[in-house]
Chain A
């Protein structure tokens, strides 16, 4: 398929003596700390990667990113003034600039449109998590992922734990039957608070909302979608990426009550019901001064697998095991494997699981917001869109934050 394409971005990185000498051009969309980190990992992944386009809505973030990239990548960062794309449509400029790969690292609300445009233009994609904030976004990503598969494009998702050696080995054993039939999964993601940027006089409402995107649920999806989704992705990994039947949840905000925190919650607790009576429970909070925890426990009929992220990777039971090797750099592995896949013509496509894991978090959020137990089917069919359409974004656009959700009162799918 790719072999017949005339688009330069779909050109084959053919096998042969000089195959690895061919330059791979990379564009970054979303020049924050994470995007800049991803671009550096791309540079480190392959000596013939060049960064040739940058896009962001904020000039200061773009320039800071460029400064950092130049320090690390030196002359492999080929960015002149014409290669800097600013504004809500910057992604189109980056995608059309002749790059082979785009790194999609903006806040999540924009991801479905960015991903769609990148795949339609035939670009390989590194796609940060989460990939959407609502069901229409998830469906769009699933459709684009399918198109990417047809076009033999690689799609590597930012669900980085899937690229970490210790977790690959543990989940490989779990899926291989080492703890027997799985009955229950629990995940916890308990932490503290995050950054906040004070409003500046020259900012419009939209500037303020975009600078503090984390606290606007139509931009971030709320913290369970933005952060705790990693735990739900591991939960999904443990059950073989089967989809749940329905979910029940609760949540609210007790600490994050100040207006500056927009409309997101500070805690959620959710039960997922899978076929055959399998249950999975997720607890998450962002409340400073509380005990941190980032754990996964998978209970099987013949054992239990436990993860404390960063410190414990263990299976107890009939086939005990624990991981004592070094912690690999999963952020780098993601890019190593992406660029190796591009070089070898054997694409990776994380599209389906990255969309479904994101949807797990959207379902969890929505059953907690509403207090209404909801099936996966109903949730993923929802037409409720949380924010403006991509073409409507403008610095003078007034987009009122929805009220903080009240269980029993808030209706999302009306």
Chain B
């Protein structure tokens, strides 16, 4: 029941869960976050003025393209014609505040600078200094698993790894990026539609929009080669499944439905598994690529790990997972940002 509204919880991390809900509160709008230097990046405070932009990271040759997603209310869950699964029901009305979302899945070109300290050409911005960024343990295998690096999505990182990447990025840019909540992810994927796929109901058109079992050759593919959805977001479906911030709960929509309509829900990840991952991957069939389809992380992803405790950072041999970033339109307070990044790894036996 703590998936929202639990603002008074004493546990610091729970207040982070609530952050998603209260961040738009007018009282918090003025709270200081270190501001980016490009005025275009922070002058937009309403959906009318928000525009796409490229987040540059000093030292990196590639930027991160961000596209605006207007705030609004949508129907979360299986709104299409497919039978769907029990965890996609009931359909619930959900309000979401405006945010930007990365146009592409985050590629190795960016992620690698975070993974390998010695190969990191970026520098910390003084006004965004946090307690030291924790980096992944050096992977002992090629984490691309031979699937390609330049222009290919970063893969196999744990949820904790993905959040620490956001922290690294914050210290380099002064801009708060985080993982999408499950609601934000689905809202962006549906892009105003209620059909099985954002482009309609005909799975035979999937090949134009997504890399999945039928056309991927069993591998990840370069980002941005397929058509975007109506809001200009590429590879939302397929290629790699994408982390959300939220704990997966098969009964989540039931819980939400008991509250009528909800705003900015997020189910805080108190447990290491399962975490909600969305969009389906290059290994999935068409049904799993529906915008309403849900999936989750599981311990089997780390079964092939010779060490115990198992890695906090990597799913060896599980190349199906990647990430996409969200930047809330109204940034949270510095306190809330610190709390978000204070996430500790949970030991995995």
Q: CB within 8 Å of B: which residues of A? A: 32-34, 36-40, 65, 68, 71-72, 160, 191-195, 227, 288-289, 292-294, 308-312, 324, 327, 329-332
Contacts and interface: CB of A to CB of B under 8 A. Distances in A.
Nearest to B119: A289
A38 B118 CA distance: 32
B144 A292 contact: yes
Given A288-B116, A289-B118, A68 B308 contact: yes
State the 6 A-B residue pairs at the shortest beta-carbon distance, nearest first.
A292-B142, A33-B307, A289-B119, A311-B146, A36-B308, A308-B146
Contact of A191 (B142, B145, B303, B349): B142
Interface residues of B: mostly helix, strand, loop or mixed?
Answer: loop
A307 B309 CA distance: 29
B317 A327 contact: yes
Given A288-B116, A292-B144, A329 B138 contact: no
- Contact count band on B: 20 to 34
Given A34-B307, A332-B303, A194 B140 contact: yes
Contacts of A332: 303
A162 to B, nearest CB: 14
Interface in B134-153: 137-147
A293 B304 contact: no
Contacts of A331: 304, 306
B269 interface: no
A109 B312 CA distance: 29
Contacts of B218: 324
Give the one of B139, B144, B147, B306 with max A CB within 10 A.
B306
A288 B306 contact: no
Contacts of A65: 308
Interface residues of A: mostly helix, strand, loop or mixed?
Answer: mixed
A40 B118 contact: no
A72 B218 CA distance: 33
B317 A36 contact: no
A33 B319 CA distance: 23
B305 interface: yes
A38 B304 CA distance: 12
Contacts of B116: 192, 288-289
B308 A329 contact: no
Contact of A309 (B141, B303, B307): B141
Nearest to B309: A68
A310 B146 contact: yes
A282 to B, nearest CB: 17
Interface string B117-142: 11100000000000000000111111
B100 to A, nearest CB: 31
A109 to B, nearest CB: 20
Contacts of A195: 137-138
B349 A72 contact: yes
A169 B142 CA distance: 23
Interface in B296-349: 303-310, 316-317, 319, 347, 349
Nearest to B311: A33
Nearest to B117: A288
A310 B142 contact: yes
Contact of B140 (A68, A191, A312): A191
Nearest to B307: A33
Contact of A192 (B139, B219, B347, B349): B139
Nearest to B112: A289
A259 to B, nearest CB: 17
A324 B305 CA distance: 21
Nearest to B304: A329
Contact of B141 (A37, A160, A294): A294
